[in-house]
Amino acid sequence: MFLYYWRHLLGILVFYLCYIHVFLSPLLSSRSLFLQQSLSLYQNIPIHLLGSLKATVSIFKYKPGILSTCLLFVDFFNEFDFWDSGNVSDPTADSTYPTAAYYMPKEAAQNQSLAYVTDQGNFRLGVDSTFTYHGLDLRPSVRITSHKTIQQGLIIIDAAHVAYALTAWPSIWLTDVSQPWPTAGEIDIYESVGLSHQNTMSYHTSSGCFYDANATQTGILSTVSLDCNALSNGDQACGSADPNTNSFGEGANTGGGSVYALEWTDSAMKMWHFNRVGVPADITKGKPNPSVWGPPVANLASTYCELNSYFGPQSLIMNIDLCGTWAGSVYPGGPQACFKYAQANPEAFKDAYFEIASVKFYQ
């Protein structure tokens, strides 16, 4: 009981420290030793005292090269909507390429242990790996969408484990859920299918946004043209395959997971991936500086695309689909074989889960 109240007191303390920073800092010295020490307090709190507070989305003030240390805690369960397949059908599937996943509402996902906070304080969401399904029954999974939106800034996602499995189509991505897709764009940070080892980072827009082939990046453009229009070229949009063969799936989990980052400014949208052993020290210290990270994997420059015109306020989405229009189209034997395999092989989904240590928004 004492630990329960202690966690809540910590949350209140950090909230008021943020309040002081945001509203009173104009009246105080920006180099106030009190503020510097107080606002860094969270990083020195033992993890066992934080408990569920550790599984958070944190909001920071951001300008390129200037990062504040103020943070707010946001509860995944209360600040994200859980998609309910009973109310809304899966938009990434059709009659030819059916989904084998049923997205569970929050209470059902919690009751079936598909979404919970781990003993380490990480947020876990995944696919049922216990039961076999028959007929038209779908395998339970999870899809969540953040209430908060961002437009420009820096996002850093620390994943202790990323999802992968044969027939699976896991993704961490952003879009404007208030607008008809792809009117306000889509940004795919982590996405591929099956047992792939390479991540694909992509940008989907409406007509008129084009990729600058001369923009510096390490990723290999995997699209048929430089047109990012999601309504042409079979929705390939502008995707870049990460040359790092440990950027998706099993390899990305080696050594304790991976970190994925997106920096969005007026001039470019850049994305990076770091395996655990290669995470920059500035990220670990909570003072990220993308200018020293080296070339990004994907780089949508504003040269031929007015970014703020094609990308509206974005919500963060995490989901694990099964089969559907991508995984179902490349599965050996076709979409129906994909569907049946997903139904009949629960053990195949033991790694089909995300375990998120933190998501930090620097705005």
Catalytic residues, by residue number, are 186, 191
Distance separating alpha carbons of residues 363 and 343, to the nearest angstrom? 42
Distance separating alpha carbons of residues 188 and 336, to the nearest angstrom? 26
Cβ pair 217, 239 in contact under 8 A: no
Among 116, 110, 113, 108, CA closest to 85: 108
Tell the residue number behind the tokens 């300008």, with chain if given: 63
Cβ pair 326, 200 in contact under 8 A: no
Cβ pair 270, 213 in contact under 8 A: no
Query: How many CB atoms are closer than 10 A to CB 40?
Result: 13
Distance separating alpha carbons of residues 39 and 68, to the nearest angstrom? 9
Cβ pair 327, 200 in contact under 8 A: no
> How many angstroms separate the Cα of 181 from the Cα of each of 198, 307, 321?
26, 16, 18
Q: Exposed, middle or buried by CB within 10 Å (0-12, 13-18, 19+), for 215?
A: middle
DSSP character at residue 226: S
> How many angstroms separate the Cα of 194 from the Cα of each of 27, 240, 260, 296, 348?
54, 18, 20, 24, 11
Q: Residues with Cβ < 8 Å from 47, sequence gap 6 or more?
A: 54, 120, 121
* Cα-Cα end-to-end distance for the chain: 36
